Structure 1
Amino acid sequence: MPLRSPFGQSRDTDRAADRPAVPEFTAAEWELLVRLPARVLAAAASVHTPTDEEKLAGLAAIAAGRMHDSELLRAVVARVYRAEEASETGNGTANEQERAGLPGSAEPRASLLAACRTASRLLALRADRADAAAYRQWLQSIAARFFGVTGAAREALTDRQREFLDDLAAALSAR
């Protein structure tokens, strides 16, 4: 039962009024937003062969979106997990690594960056500014954590990793 304020409204209602609603997206738009995190990991893996810890860090970065303040980000992560469950039960499609192509090829990265630009433009048009920024930052943090970057430790990156992160940031800044 929601807590009641002394003014007659529930606290849940008060909080909901302060938050922007998650925008309505088409099924194709949701698919784009939901698949991008795994595509970021697949493309990052083509730049750098990850250790088990780095793989787990990338997955943990995706999961971290569940606890974010952004309603949109939490909705995307919830759909990521629903899509994952569907693929595990045989109701989903091929995994992102297979869909992205062979590691190291130029096409998956170009395709990922194009999808990031599309998502960034979509969010700029349809989402709250804070939600759009949270989504873009989240995708970048997934790649950074996959590469083992914490804080300002970019100097430990290889040139290819740094280039990947820079390209990802540029694609996500498209409006």
Structure 2
Amino acid sequence: MSRSVADEPPAPERRVARTRAGPYSTTEWELLTSLPGRVIVIAAQPGPGRPPRGVTAGIAGLDAVAAGRAFDSDLVRAVVAEIYARHDGASLPAALTELVDVLADCRRAVRVLDRRADPADSAAYRQWVQSVAARVCGTASGALPPGTLAPAERRLLDRLGVALGLR
């Protein structure tokens, strides 16, 4: 093991450097990179008229996040790269996964994107986050035909769409 000049152990190496796309502050970048995961949690939570979800819902959400790697948006690809670069294993505090908080942060993200992002990147990011929720909601089990959403699922997606400025 090598030592520094001051005979201190070297700093641990990071496998992947932090990716920061564009002119975002650390707080704004954290908002943009944490929002997709929080949307997965919200969309997977059971609620009135919404059945409990299993592992399939989480996997569908992660697949939707990963699909962002193929988006024609530097911002979306940078956010996905940052999500996959994190190795801290930290879980989200419960307060951060309440629907009202996630909707408020969706509106905050839209304001950040309006100020700082290229309009095409802004639209791509907002649509991608909505698609993450739609993939999770589409995993609902029950008597509905495949591809059909329950009214509660549609309401959730509508509320997210409004908060993301898509409706």
Counterpart residue number, 1:126: 116
Counterpart residue number, 1:139: 129
Change in 2 beyond 3 A, CA 1:137/1:97:
farther
Task: Find the partner of 1:70 among 69, 73, 91.
Answer: 73
How much has 1:68 moved relative to structure 2?
A: 1.1
Structure ranking higher in helix proportion = 1
State whether residues 39 and 112 of structure 1, in contact with CA within 8 Å, keep that contact through their aligned partners in structure 2: yes
Identity over aligned pairs, percent: 44
State whether residues 117 and 173 of structure 1, in contact with CA within 8 Å, keep that contact through their aligned partners in structure 2: yes
Q: Aligned pair count?
A: 137
How much has 1:75 moved relative to structure 2?
A: 0.6
Matched residue type, 1:54: A
Q: TM-score, normalised by structure 1?
A: 0.71
Q: TM-score, normalised by structure 2?
A: 0.74
Matched residue type, 2:31: L
Change in 2 beyond 3 A, CA 1:114/1:130:
same
State whether residues 65 and 77 of structure 1, in contact with CA within 8 Å, keep that contact through their aligned partners in structure 2: yes
Matched residue type, 1:81: Y
Structural RMSD (CA): 2.1
Matched residue type, 2:99: R
State whether residues 95 and 101 of structure 2, in contact with CA within 8 Å, keep that contact through their aligned partners in structure 1: no
How much has 1:130 moved relative to structure 2?
A: 0.6
Pairs within 5 Å for 1:44-83: 44-47=43-46, 48=50, 49-83=52-86
How much has 1:99 moved relative to structure 2?
A: 4.9
State whether residues 43 and 100 of structure 1, in contact with CA within 8 Å, keep that contact through their aligned partners in structure 2: no
How much has 1:155 moved relative to structure 2?
A: 7.2
Counterpart residue number, 1:26: 25
Task: Find the partner of 1:95 among 91, 94, 103.
Answer: 91
Change in 2 beyond 3 A, CA 1:68/1:120:
same
